[in-house]
Amino acid sequence: KPRLYSGMQPSADSLQIGNYIGALMQWRDLQEAYEAFFSVVDLHALTQPNDPAELRAKTRRTAAQYIAAGIEPSKSTLYVQSHVPAHAELAWILSTITGFGEAGRMTQFKDKSQRYGADATSVGLFTYPVLMAADILLYQTDIVPVGDDQKQHVELTRDLAERFNSRYGETFRVPMPVIQQETARIYDLQNPTAKMSKSAESDAGVLWLLDDPAVSAKKIMRAVTDSEGTVRYDREAKPGVSNLLVIYAALTGRQIPAIEDEYAGRGYGDFKKGLAEVVVNEFGPVRSRALELLDDPAELDRVLAANAARAEAVANATLDDVYDRAGLLRRV
């Protein structure tokens, strides 16, 4: 089977609907045809300020949500990044072949460093994409299903793989990003031209997977729209309504024109009520399953440990090869 790698940061107590639609739904479908590795990338989450105990809790919660959303740890390898030391080790090697200017062109770094300010912007935030390249390349990955915001990082990963291969000999498989065009970017409900993010400053426009159903419904009813009053897809003129239509279509598997027809001549209130029902129905079972899994953290930890062992076997084989080719003297 071809290989698949993807991951999410444990940067909040809950995942948001963009993570679900842009990534998790694809993961669930692809795990049958691919040998899949799904990581909770806790080393990446250290690039923003964290309380240690909270980070541990968020890491378990993220893993529980993967499983609750349908990732099966018996089929796919679902593990915590820091449990496999090879990630940090390969990141160092790759950092030595990454250009300073090349890393400086990454838009996520520019966005996040601007948001954090100079004092909170670490070297780790700068080298984040190099660690991500290591994540992917360790598993000799064929495809990387991600949202649109990660496309640039996967392009960098490809460049680094090709550079290493041409400098030291064929070592890495060169991965392809897989981005579902229509759902590649879900926007904040209060600010529908900005990407919805776990680490948004305000969560008024963020739909959390683990939100109480009443809270999700309220956020949808309050979503920013426009004064036209027609349920119609138009990204430029109607970013708010278009975003809601994309969410509606993604969760129901229906086409946008069919949804427009259903709500023709009806107001935004009706449309939002319909969407709230769709979202609550979709999230309900995921939420209760996640909370159930979190009731037994010891069992969850056992699953993660067993999966980390599987991941490590693959990762260490690649790392060994890399060290050897790069000219590091191997310990006998």
Residue numbers annotated as active site = 112, 195, 198
Number of C-beta neighbours around residue 291 at 10 A: 13
Judged by beta carbon, residue 191 or residue 199, the one nearer ligand ATP is 199
- Under rule CB under 6 A, residue 9 binds ligand ATP: yes
Q: Looking at residues 99 to 118 of the shown chain, list those that interact with ligand ATP (rule: CB under 6 A).
A: none
Judged by beta carbon, residue 93 or residue 244, the one nearer ligand ATP is 244
- Under rule CB under 6 A, residue 157 binds ligand ATP: no
- Under rule CB under 6 A, residue 141 binds ligand ATP: no
Judged by beta carbon, residue 81 or residue 140, the one nearer ligand ATP is 81
Asked if 204 and 222 touch (Cβ cutoff 8 Å), the reply is yes
81 annotated among ligand-binding-site residues: no
What is the CA 112 to chain-centroid distance, rounded?
Answer: 16
Residue 256 Cβ, how far from ligand ATP at the closest point, in Å? 17
d(CA 308, CA 327) in angstroms, rounded, equals 28
| Contact stretch for ligand ATP (CB under 6 A) within 134-142, 147-155, 285-293, 313-321 | 147-155
85 annotated among ligand-binding-site residues: no
The CA distances from residue 322 to 47, 143, 318, in Å, are 26, 21, 6
Count residues near ligand ATP (CB under 6 A): 20
Judged by beta carbon, residue 9 or residue 127, the one nearer ligand ATP is 9
9 annotated among ligand-binding-site residues: yes
- Under rule CB under 6 A, residue 13 binds ligand ATP: no
243 annotated among ligand-binding-site residues: no
Judged by beta carbon, residue 45 or residue 93, the one nearer ligand ATP is 45
Residue 143 Cβ, how far from ligand ATP at the closest point, in Å? 12
* DSSP-assigned beta bridge partners for residue 176: 143
Judged by beta carbon, residue 41 or residue 322, the one nearer ligand ATP is 41
Q: At 177, phi and psi to the nearest 5?
A: -75, 145
| Contact stretch for ligand ATP (CB under 6 A) within 16-24, 234-242, 243-251, 305-313 | 16-24
What is the CA 266 to chain-centroid distance, rounded?
Answer: 35
Considering just the CA atoms, what is the radius of gyration of the chain in Å?
A: 21
Who contacts 255 (Cβ-Cβ below 8 Å, separation ≥6)? Answer: 249
Q: At 50, phi and psi to the nearest 5?
A: -145, 145
- Under rule CB under 6 A, residue 14 binds ligand ATP: no
For ligand ATP, the binding residue among 40, 134, 186, 304 (CB under 6 A) is 186
Who contacts 209 (Cβ-Cβ below 8 Å, separation ≥6)? Answer: 14, 15, 16, 17, 19, 20, 65, 69, 283, 286, 287, 290
- Under rule CB under 6 A, residue 8 binds ligand ATP: yes
d(CA 184, CA 205) in angstroms, rounded, equals 18
- Under rule CB under 6 A, residue 199 binds ligand ATP: yes
Who contacts 240 (Cβ-Cβ below 8 Å, separation ≥6)? Answer: 189, 192, 223, 224, 225, 226
What order do you get walking across the sheet with 3-8 strand by strand?
77-80, 35-40, 3-8, 143-145, 176-178
Residue 293 Cβ, how far from ligand ATP at the closest point, in Å? 19
Q: Looking at residues 23 to 82 of the shown chain, list those that interact with ligand ATP (rule: CB under 6 A).
A: 23
Residue 137 Cβ, how far from ligand ATP at the closest point, in Å? 17
Q: Looking at residues 244 to 273 of the shown chain, list those that interact with ligand ATP (rule: CB under 6 A).
A: none
- Under rule CB under 6 A, residue 185 binds ligand ATP: yes
Q: Token pair of 34, please?
A: 């691919």
d(CA 232, CA 236) in angstroms, rounded, equals 12
| Contact stretch for ligand ATP (CB under 6 A) within 11-19, 66-74, 277-285, 307-315 | 11-19
Task: Give the binding site for ligand ATP (CB under 6 A).
Answer: 8-9, 11, 16, 18-19, 22-23, 146-147, 149-150, 184-186, 195-199
